């Protein structure tokens, strides 16, 4: 079940992504309305992060295209912000919290110019929004997991974008941080920003998201949460072994061997 | 001493060349090396510094003379080829990056050695001194070389200066840099080229193999002294320059001594020193901190013994013998004795005839430790729902580290209690 929208902020069209020729996402096709908080949900290995990375142009597409604001990514990069997984970087890197948040301004200032006082003011403001302004001068290795996530969020905010892609922002953070983040996301959504979040805690899906993208190597469903978050849909997405795709995958894997005597 | 004065005064033009050349190459290598280290590509520096050898030999075979500029070009080409090969192997085959580095490094260096042997046996008179390219000899630097060096070093300084922000971003978070639209591939290629250039700059003075050390060692040492990337690069450059100067001086004083190995020895010494003695991060300061903590624990526990004995017979300032004290808790008597001696020296205990008693200051301090212990026990039972017979061990540690601010906060939260969970009085 896929619910499409008119004048979508994001259009993913017939997207197929492969890692060394083995498809990990098949024919994903959906649209998102402006100002929603969308969750990408699915079992482990469903390709949630892969979907996010391919939208961000970080991995090559085997087929299909992605349009943001009805344009290709290159033309609207300054309106798009990305929050990678917290574990993807070395937190022992010799920079301060403020330095990391300032990186959010690097896209705006460009390759050759340095960030100025205005950028620092914006960065400090963003740190304040995530409740981390007291930590601006702190070296990043001294942060807890929840604090690291807040810093990443502040860095994304500093981009002053219109659409935000976040890879597991709630993974391994404390309950207080989770609540602070979701509160911030709601404020952003009410300011007509669009937020796409890779998420894996089904308990909170209904409370957090108003749009849901249900993934299991292919698109199971996409649409408003109350229409998508049904037992039938979840069964389709999480009853992994039964889906036709994994059966085809199994056959492809074994095709060098005879499956029956005849 | 006269040597040192001659050296510093730069009266000998040779000294001038050697010193300037060394400083330039060491500074530029350390600067590029900092980013190689932060990108976790230290082995790449090693690979490049080996892989430039066939290029040097090929340039010699081609020109038949030791033309520095030509050899640097040869070195640059083969170093660059090696890095491209490594990336290609890692991307297109089952071989992982570390194996690819090992493979390319040995193949290139081996080929270089074969060519070197061939040249040395060819009877070409110009070949004498070519082996300096392996270990380097700053004494062979001449004015013309210095011009080439200065240009290379200027290019390196300028490039790193311009792209500092971008290199730091890519080293910290590559996917994010890509998402921002930064030309990550081209920046990687640029850093690769700068690495090769830095190695090439050093081959006449330091030699091909040892340049790897001049890239990475100053940066690794600098990381111990700061958590700020700009300062780290600055300190790395300073360390590199110092090593370069030392190498030049040593080979000036003792001409038989090779410059390159001495530069490496000096910069390794700096690295070892940093590793052991850098404040906060070094091994020795950390050990010292732990020892200090251990001492505080033993001393405070000893004071507690007096307080507990005092509670038993409500007589807090009585004289106590060693055996009496040791009966309150399990303790090593030798350790207890040294602690008692230190506490006397600090004025917290008074001693007479092999017996000890709390002074007023000692009594205050003992009371505070006991107080913190009992407050913490109460906090654990009240707020963390831990059974009252499970809280003692935890409180034994926490009592030593609670600051006065935390103590006030604790008291406030608990509502200024009188009794701990075991119904013992909390002293005030």
Per-residue model confidence as pLDDT tens digits over B28-84: 999 999 999 999 888 888 899 899 999 988 998 888 777 778 888 999 999 999 999
Distance CA A18, CA B159 (A): 37
Partner B contacted by A203 (CB < 8 A): no
CB A111 to CB B182 under 8 A?
yes
Closest CA to B16 of B139, B137, B132: B139
Are residues B219 and B295 located together in one domain of the fold? no
Rounded to a whole number, what is the distance in Å from the CA of B18 to chain A's nearest CA?
A: 34
3-state secondary structure A100-137: HHHHHHHHHHCCCCCCCHHHHHHHHHHHHHCCCHHHCC
Structure token pair of residue A237: 């997405």
Are residues B334 and B275 located together in one domain of the fold? no
Are residues B350 and B269 located together in one domain of the fold? no
Distance CA A161, CA A159 (A): 5
Distance CA B169, CA B173 (A): 6
Are residues B321 and B265 located together in one domain of the fold? no
Are residues B181 and B324 located together in one domain of the fold? no
Distance CA A233, CA B34 (A): 52
Structure token pair of residue B386: 């831990």
Structure token pair of residue B51: 């892989």
Are residues B39 and B135 located together in one domain of the fold? yes
All residues of chain B having their beta carbon less than 8 Å from the beta carbon of residue A56 are 175, 178-179
Give the burial class of B111: count Cβ atoms within 10 A of its Cβ; 0-12 exposed, 13-18 middle, 19 or more buried.
middle
Closest CA to B355 of B343, B345, B340: B340
Are residues B245 and B334 located together in one domain of the fold? no
Are residues B248 and B371 located together in one domain of the fold? no
Number of A to B CB contacts under 8 A, please give it. 73
What percentage of chain B's residues is helix, strand, coil (to nearest 5)? 75, 5, 25
pLDDT in tens, chain A (262 residues): 888 888 899 999 999 888 766 778 888 999 999 999 999 999 888 889 999 999 999 998 888 999 999 999 999 999 999 999 999 999 999 999 999 999 999 999 989 989 999 999 999 999 999 999 999 999 999 998 889 999 999 999 999 999 999 999 998 888 888 999 999 999 999 999 999 999 988 888 999 999 999 998 889 899 999 998 888 888 888 875 545 665 665 565 555 443 334 4
Rounded to a whole number, what is the distance in Å from the CA of B172 to chain A's nearest CA?
A: 6
In chain B, positions 190-229, which contact chain A (CB-CB < 8 Å)? 223, 226-229
- Whichever domain contains B91, its CATH number is 1.10.3470.10
Distance CA B218, CA B223 (A): 9
Instruction: Say if residues B155 and B161 touch (Cβ distance below 8 Å).
Output: no
Closest CA to B82 of B48, B55, B33: B48
In a mutagenesis test of the A interface, which of B181, B228, B230, B232 is the best target, namely the one with the most A β-carbons within 10 Å?
Answer: B181
Are residues B276 and B334 located together in one domain of the fold? no
Distance CA A75, CA A77 (A): 6
Give the global pTM: 0.83
Are residues B214 and B287 located together in one domain of the fold? no
Instruction: Say if residues B223 and A94 touch (Cβ distance below 8 Å).
Output: yes
Q: How many domains does chain B have?
A: 2
pLDDT in tens, chain B (428 residues): 677 777 777 777 777 777 888 888 899 999 999 999 999 888 888 899 899 999 988 998 888 777 778 888 999 999 999 999 998 998 888 899 899 999 999 999 999 999 988 888 877 766 667 777 776 766 666 777 778 888 888 899 899 999 999 999 999 999 999 999 999 999 999 998 999 998 888 877 787 778 888 999 999 999 999 999 999 999 999 999 999 899 888 877 887 777 788 889 999 999 999 999 988 888 999 999 899 988 888 899 899 888 888 888 777 778 888 888 888 878 888 888 888 899 989 888 888 888 888 898 998 899 999 999 998 888 888 888 888 888 888 888 888 888 888 888 888 888 888 888 888 888 87
Structure token pair of residue B116: 């070197």
Per residue in B295-346, pLDDT (tens digit) is 888 899 899 888 888 888 777 778 888 888 888 878 888 888 888 899 989 8
Are residues B316 and B330 located together in one domain of the fold? yes
CB B172 to CB A106 under 8 A?
no
All residues of chain B having their beta carbon less than 8 Å from the beta carbon of residue A115 are 165
HSE-CB at A79 with a 13 A cutoff on CA atoms is: 17
CB B173 to CB A96 under 8 A?
no
The 10 Å Cβ neighbour count of residue B404 is 8
Rounded to a whole number, what is the distance in Å from the CA of A204 to chain B's nearest CA?
A: 26
Instruction: Say if residues A251 and A245 touch (Cβ distance below 8 Å).
Output: no
Q: What is the spatial order of strands in the sheet that A10-19 belongs to? A: A22-32, A10-19, A63-68
All residues of chain A having their beta carbon less than 8 Å from the beta carbon of residue B228 are 94-96
Which residue does chain A place closest to B226, by CA atoms? Answer: A94
Partner B contacted by A103 (CB < 8 A): yes
Distance CA B416, CA B424 (A): 14
ipTM of the shown complex: 0.90
Are residues B336 and B226 located together in one domain of the fold? no
Q: A15: helix, coil or strand?
A: strand
Instruction: Say if residues A175 and A113 touch (Cβ distance below 8 Å).
Output: no
Partner A contacted by B166 (CB < 8 A): yes
CB A89 to CB B173 under 8 A?
yes
DSSP H helical ranges for B180-319 = 184-202, 211-223, 229-253, 259-277, 283-312
All residues of chain A having their beta carbon less than 8 Å from the beta carbon of residue B163 are 111
Residues 6+ apart with CB under 8 A from B423: none
Q: In the 8-state DSSP scheme, what is residue A46?
A: S
Residues 6+ apart with CB under 8 A from A122: A105, A158, A160
Residue B425 backbone dihedrals phi, psi, to 5 degrees: -75, 140
CB A112 to CB B179 under 8 A?
no
Task: Give the residue from B281, B306, B339 where a domain finishes.
Answer: B281
Partner B contacted by A144 (CB < 8 A): no
All residues of chain B having their beta carbon less than 8 Å from the beta carbon of residue A99 are 229
All residues of chain A having their beta carbon less than 8 Å from the beta carbon of residue B232 are 94
Domain assignments of chain A as residue spans, ordered by start: 10-254
Burial code (b: 16+ CB inside 10 Å, e: under 16) for B133-153 equals bbbbbbbbbeeebbebbeebb
Burial code (b: 16+ CB inside 10 Å, e: under 16) for B76-108 equals bbbbbbbbebbbebbeeeeeeeeebbeebbeeb
CA angle A72, A76, A78 (to 5 degrees): 150
Rounded to a whole number, what is the distance in Å from the CA of B31 to chain A's nearest CA?
A: 15
Which residue does chain A place closest to B37, by CA atoms? Answer: A93
Which structural domain, as residue segments, surrounds residue B100? Answer: 2-281
Residues A125-133: contacts with CB under 8 Å, at least 24 apart: A126/A101, A126/A154, A126/A155, A126/A157, A126/A158, A127/A97, A127/A98, A127/A101, A127/A151, A127/A154, A129/A154, A129/A157, A129/A184, A130/A154, A130/A157, A130/A180, A130/A181, A130/A184, A131/A180, A132/A97
A10-254: CATH topology is: Rossmann fold (3.40.50)
Task: Give the residue from B218, B252, B281 where a domain finishes.
Answer: B281
CB B227 to CB A141 under 8 A?
yes
H helix count then E strand count, chain B: 19, 2
CB A57 to CB B226 under 8 A?
no
Q: Beta strand pairing status for B349-352 and A63-68?
A: unpaired
All residues of chain B having their beta carbon less than 8 Å from the beta carbon of residue A97 are none
The beta-carbon neighbor of B172 closest among A81, A95, A114 is: A95
CB B172 to CB A89 under 8 A?
yes
Partner B contacted by A79 (CB < 8 A): no
Task: Give the residue from B230, B262, B281 where a domain finishes.
Answer: B281
HSE-CB at A176 with a 13 A cutoff on CA atoms is: 6
CB A100 to CB B169 under 8 A?
no
């Amino acid at each position: 079940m896929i619910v499409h929208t008119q004048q979508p902020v994001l259009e993913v069209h017939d997207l197929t992504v492969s890692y060394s020729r083995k498809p990990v996402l098949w024919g994903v096709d959906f649209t998102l309305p402006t100002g929603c908080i969308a969750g990408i949900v699915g079992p482990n290995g469903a390709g949630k992060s892969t979907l996010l990375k391919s939208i961000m142009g970080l991995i090559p597409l085997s087929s299909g295209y992605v349009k943001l604001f009805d344009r290709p990514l290159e033309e609207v990069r300054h309106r798009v912000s990305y929050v990678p997984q917290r574990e993807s970087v070395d937190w022992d890197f010799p920079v301060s919290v403020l330095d990391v948040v300032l990186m959010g301004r690097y896209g705006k200032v460009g390759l050759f110019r340095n960030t100025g006082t205005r950028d620092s003011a914006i960065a400090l403001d963003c740190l304040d929004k995530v409740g981390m302004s007291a930590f601006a001068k702190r070296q990043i290795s001294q942060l807890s997991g929840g604090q690291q996530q807040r810093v990443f969020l502040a860095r994304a905010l500093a981009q002053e974008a219109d659409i935000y892609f976040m890879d597991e922002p709630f993974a391994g953070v404390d309950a207080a941080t989770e609540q602070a983040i979701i509160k911030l996301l709601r404020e952003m959504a009410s300011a007509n920003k669009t937020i796409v979040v890779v998420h894996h805690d089904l308990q909170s899906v209904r409370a957090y998201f108003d749009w849901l993208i249900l993934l299991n190597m292919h698109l199971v469903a996409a649409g408003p949460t109350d229409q998508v978050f049904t037992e039938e849909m979840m069964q389709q997405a999480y009853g992994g072994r039964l889906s036709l795709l994994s059966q085809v995958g199994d056959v492809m894997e074994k095709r060098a061997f005879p499956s029956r005597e005849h | 001493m006269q040597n040192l004065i001659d050296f510093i005064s730069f009266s000998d033009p040779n000294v001038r060349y050697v010193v300037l050349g060394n400083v330039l190459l060491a500074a530029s290598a350390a600067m590029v090396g900092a980013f190689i280290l932060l990108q976790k590509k230290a082995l790449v520096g090693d690979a490049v510094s080996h892989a430039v050898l066939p290029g040097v030999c090929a340039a010699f075979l081609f020109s038949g003379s030791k033309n520095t500029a030509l050899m640097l070009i040869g070195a640059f080409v083969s170093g660059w080829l090696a890095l491209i090969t490594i990336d290609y192997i890692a991307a297109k085959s089952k071989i992982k990056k570390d194996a690819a580095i090992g493979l390319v490094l040995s193949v290139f260096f081996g080929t270089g050695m074969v060519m070197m042997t061939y040249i040395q046996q060819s009877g070409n008179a110009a070949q004498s001194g070519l082996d300096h390219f392996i270990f380097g000899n700053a004494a062979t630097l001449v004015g013309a070389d210095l011009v080439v060096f200065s240009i290379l070093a200027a290019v390196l300084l300028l490039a790193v200066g311009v792209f500092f922000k971008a290199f730091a971003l890519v080293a910290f978070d590559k996917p994010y840099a890509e998402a921002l639209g930064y030309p990550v591939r081209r920046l990687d290629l640029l850093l690769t080229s700068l690495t090769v250039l830095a190695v090439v700059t050093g081959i006449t003075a330091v030699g091909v193999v040892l340049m790897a050390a001049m890239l990475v060692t100053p940066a690794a040492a600098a990381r111990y002294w700061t958590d700020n990337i700009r300062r780290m690069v600055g300190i790395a450059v300073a360390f590199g320059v110092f090593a370069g100067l030392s190498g030049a001086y040593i080979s000036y004083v003792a001409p038989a001594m090779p410059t390159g190995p001495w530069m490496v020895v000096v910069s390794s010494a700096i690295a070892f020193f940093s590793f052991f003695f850098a404040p906060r991060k070094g091994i020795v300061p950390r050990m010292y901190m732990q020892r200090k903590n251990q001492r505080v624990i033993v001393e405070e526990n000893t004071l507690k013994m007096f307080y507990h004995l005092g509670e038993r017979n409500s007589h807090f300032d009585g004289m106590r013998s060693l055996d009496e004290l040791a009966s309150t808790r399990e303790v090593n008597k030798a350790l207890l004795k040294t602690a008692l001696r230190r506490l006397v020296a600090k004025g917290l205990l008074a001693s007479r005839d092999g017996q000890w008693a709390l002074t007023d200051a000692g009594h205050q301090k003992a009371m505070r430790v006991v107080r913190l212990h009992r407050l913490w026990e109460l906090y654990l039972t009240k707020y963390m729902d831990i059974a009252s017979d499970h809280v003692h061990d935890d409180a034994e540690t926490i009592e030593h580290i609670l600051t006065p601010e935390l103590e006030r906060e604790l008291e406030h939260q608990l509502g200024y209690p009188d009794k701990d969970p075991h119904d013992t009085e909390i002293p005030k």
